[in-house]
A and B are shown apart, each in its own frame.
Chain A
Amino acid sequence: MPFNRKAHKFNASINEVEIGTGDKAIKIGGENTFPFYSFDGSLGAGPKIGVEITDLGLDGEPEGVKAYYAGCNTIGEIAKKAAQMPGGDFVVLRLAGGDPNGANKSVEDLVAVAKEVAEAIDTPLVVEGCKNVEKDAELLAKVAGALQGRNIVVMSAKEENYKAIGAAAGLAYGQKVGAESAVDINLAKQLNVVMTQLGVPASSIVMNTGSAAVGYGFDYTISTFDRVRAAALGQDDKMLQMPIITPVASETWVVKESTAAEEDAEEGWGPVEARGISMEVQTATACLVSGSDAVILKHPESVKTISKLIQELV
């Protein structure tokens, strides 16, 4: 008997969300099948890659990242170069310097940074906060207003501050909102429910359902992706059909594998930069094949590899 192939089809799809403006605008999501299962259905817009830069400049960055941005002196110049990174689709500005326990930069300073970045590039822009929920509430609301008309994604709207961020970004200024939850399908859904109740259209929401570096609690990340996609496509759950954007660089470049200098590391580990790239490449791959519609990376080598992977699989 010949093999009787059964296609697994769904009568539902992930929302397609457009970010950016003009001919540089891109779409995220739109698929009606599991990640890269092109043999079952459509992959929609196909996975995308964001290139991360931060307001803290290049000081702490790995050598390969510094080398890529060599000659850039202002955040605007850095942003321009990020927009040109081969394989990248959009730029991500992480306002890490806002953290009250870190550099604690003022909201005004950071809004100015966001404006400078937006003016330097015409590619789509995603802005992440500093992880402090109170600071982000104010900061991201102001960023949303300052960049009105650019159709950016304002990430980091959490359970604690979604009202401020959602109302500003999603309602007042017509931007897209990134709903961030802690590796749990129910929390992800709940946040989308309250966000839409606030009046933010479902079509303006993207999700960050949680991320971690592989080996660091990534089991929960995988299962959250798997379950979110099964509910979105299999049960046509409208409150889970938002495309997923996953920050990868900010998780993978802080763990020991990516930070321990060769002389401090265990024997045989070899140069630190290669380890960092490996963490980033493999974590990004694992996110994409589990459910991310876009991953946020920073090393040019990782961006190149993941972009090639996507080309091979779509």
Chain B
Amino acid sequence: MALNGIQIFKLTPKKNCKECGCPTCMAFSMKVAQGAKQISECPHMSAEALEQLSEATAPPMKTIKVGTGDNEHTLGGETVLYRHEKTFVNKTVYAANICTCMDDAEIDDRLAQVKVVDYDRINERMYTEMINVNFGKDTTPERYAEVAKKAAAIRPVILSVKDEAAAKAALDAVKDTKPVLNGADASNYEAFCKLASDAGVVLGVSGASIEDLYDTVQKIEKLGNKNLILDVTMDSIKATFEAAVVIRRAALSDGERSFGYPSIVNVNKLTDDREMQQSLAALFTLKYGSIIVVDKMDYAMALPLYGLRQNLFTDPQKPMKVAPGIYPINGADENSVCLTTVDFALTYFLVSGELERSGVPCNLIISDAGGLSVLTSWAAGKLSATSISKYVQENVESKIKNRTLIIPGKVAVLKGDLENKLPGWKIVVAPLEAVQLVKFLKDMKANGEI
């Protein structure tokens, strides 16, 4: 639990020596309580006081790293339950599942599939970040290790295994890739804690209930291991949702340190139904899954899911903007047709993507619209015939000779006004959605209009 200024003051040496930059120990304590100073800035603090304080001022949720190099992912470290309170910091990562109960061909298929979904959306790489390697009944440790190794060559893995010999064999094979060993529970935690500590990897802990999970985590913490992930998957969808929420909330609003770890949700164990899996993947993205495992990630599932995640993890204080300017596309020059849209990064990304796909050389003109979408900026008065015409006259007319301007379909109402304000220009209304641009531009070209 966070300490207040008075509680911190009781632990200071009360020398008022000013070496911390504060006039008195009391003033220093107040600053620490507000988070404006670090305890370590006082050189005279006793060791016991430091320990007590660092425990009390530590963040409510640990930040854990898995994988290595470009494949390293940071999990946890959240401080709030809702994105409007402050930004969510470490985005959910998604894992596909393989199992040693599958035959080799199926495993290879699944591993090949993992690489298929890989694309950029507003400068963020979207792909299946991890692979869950499930231990199938009666698998030998050798086979488990061999399959884990194959998977770990592609992505960081989650070793989902409760068999000690198999866990050890797999760790021997892949520990350098920093996998998660997801296998500790009330029955085996001592052995698994040792396995994970020896290998230097994150340990996943599960329980039959929230209370049982809590007990096991406390026992593992007593053994000195705090490099943990909580597997909140229970025996039903309802119980899993409850665990995901109750555990995160206990950590962030009730100061429950033993629940202050990232979580893992095995959606693949809750249902075989693909549609249901994607619904649950979206559900647990919003409600506190740090790693979400589905059987298989394809484009249809990924496109909305990664879009949702991107929205959820954006900084609510900062609109995503691009700089106003003339963006030449497909090798456009001063004679190429002009189109205009707003400076909201998402809109720019969608529109420029379609323009590139059309292959038609064109100039995309972005004026300052407050970083808002087309209709939002129009409704807010930030995108108008005046704002567009002013920008075109001041920044475009001197550089571009072409005099055709294509405007977004959603602001078709601006056409007349723009024609008045931009003499010499031909104003063309485009379709409503960016996806329709490819055909629209190709048709214009075929008709000799551009």
Residues of A within 8 A of B (CB): 1-6, 8, 36-39, 101, 182, 213-219, 222-223, 226-227, 230, 254-257, 259-260, 264, 266, 268-271, 274-275, 277-279, 281-286, 289-290, 301-302, 304-306, 308-309, 312-313
| Cβ-based interface call for B44 (8 A) | no
In this complex, what residue of B is CB-closest to A280?
B304
Classify the interface of chain A: helix, strand, loop or mixed. Answer: helix
Q: Are B237 and A281 in contact (CB under 8 A)?
A: no
A23 CB → nearest B CB, Å: 29
Q: Are B250 and A219 in contact (CB under 8 A)?
A: no
**Count of B residues near A, CB < 8 Å?**
63
- In the bound assembly, the distance between CA atoms of A274 and B274 in angstroms comes to 11
Q: Report chain A residues within 8 Å CB of B191.
A: none
B260 CB → nearest A CB, Å: 13
Q: Report chain A residues within 8 Å CB of B443.
A: none
Q: Are A282 and B279 in contact (CB under 8 A)?
A: yes
Q: Are A279 and B303 in contact (CB under 8 A)?
A: yes
| Cβ-based interface call for B107 (8 A) | no
6 A-B pairs with CB atoms under 8 Å apart are A3-B256, A38-B242, A223-B83, A269-B300, A279-B303, A279-B304
Q: Report chain B residues within 8 Å CB of A260.
A: 435
Q: Are B433 and A255 in contact (CB under 8 A)?
A: yes
Q: Are A219 and B83 in contact (CB under 8 A)?
A: yes
Residues of B within 8 A of A (CB): 82-84, 116-117, 119, 121, 210-211, 214-215, 218, 236-238, 241-242, 245-246, 249-250, 254, 256, 258-259, 273, 275-276, 278-283, 285-287, 298-301, 303-308, 310-312, 314, 316, 346, 350, 373, 376, 379, 412, 432-435, 438
B354 CB → nearest A CB, Å: 8
Q: Are A290 and B316 in contact (CB under 8 A)?
A: no
Q: Are A308 and B245 in contact (CB under 8 A)?
A: no
Q: Report chain A residues within 8 Å CB of B256.
A: 3-4
- In the bound assembly, the distance between CA atoms of A268 and B112 in angstroms comes to 13
Q: Are B308 and A218 in contact (CB under 8 A)?
A: yes
- In the bound assembly, the distance between CA atoms of A268 and B117 in angstroms comes to 8
User: Known contacts being A8-B249, A289-B283, A305-B275, is A215 close to B116, with CB within 8 Å?
Assistant: no
Q: Report chain B residues within 8 Å CB of A264.
A: 438
Q: Report chain B residues within 8 Å CB of A313.
A: 237-238, 241
Pick the contact of B346 from A216, A266, A286, A289 — CB < 8 Å? A216
In addition to A226-B82, A227-B84, A270-B299, 13 A-B residue pairs with Cβ atoms within 8 Å of each other are: A3-B215, A3-B250, A3-B258, A39-B246, A214-B304, A219-B316, A222-B286, A223-B316, A268-B116, A274-B300, A279-B304, A281-B282, A282-B308
Q: Are A281 and B307 in contact (CB under 8 A)?
A: no
Q: Are A219 and B311 in contact (CB under 8 A)?
A: yes
- In the bound assembly, the distance between CA atoms of A290 and B373 in angstroms comes to 23
- In the bound assembly, the distance between CA atoms of A255 and B434 in angstroms comes to 9
Q: Report chain B residues within 8 Å CB of A36.
A: 241
- In the bound assembly, the distance between CA atoms of A6 and B250 in angstroms comes to 8
- In the bound assembly, the distance between CA atoms of A6 and B256 in angstroms comes to 11
Q: Report chain A residues within 8 Å CB of B285.
A: 286
Pick the contact of A5 from B237, B250, B283, B435 — CB < 8 Å? B250
Q: Are B412 and A214 in contact (CB under 8 A)?
A: no
- In the bound assembly, the distance between CA atoms of A62 and B219 in angstroms comes to 55
- In the bound assembly, the distance between CA atoms of A114 and B432 in angstroms comes to 27
Q: Are B275 and A281 in contact (CB under 8 A)?
A: yes
User: Known contacts being A3-B211, A278-B278, A308-B276, is A218 close to B307, with CB within 8 Å?
Assistant: yes
Q: Report chain B residues within 8 Å CB of A257.
A: 303-304
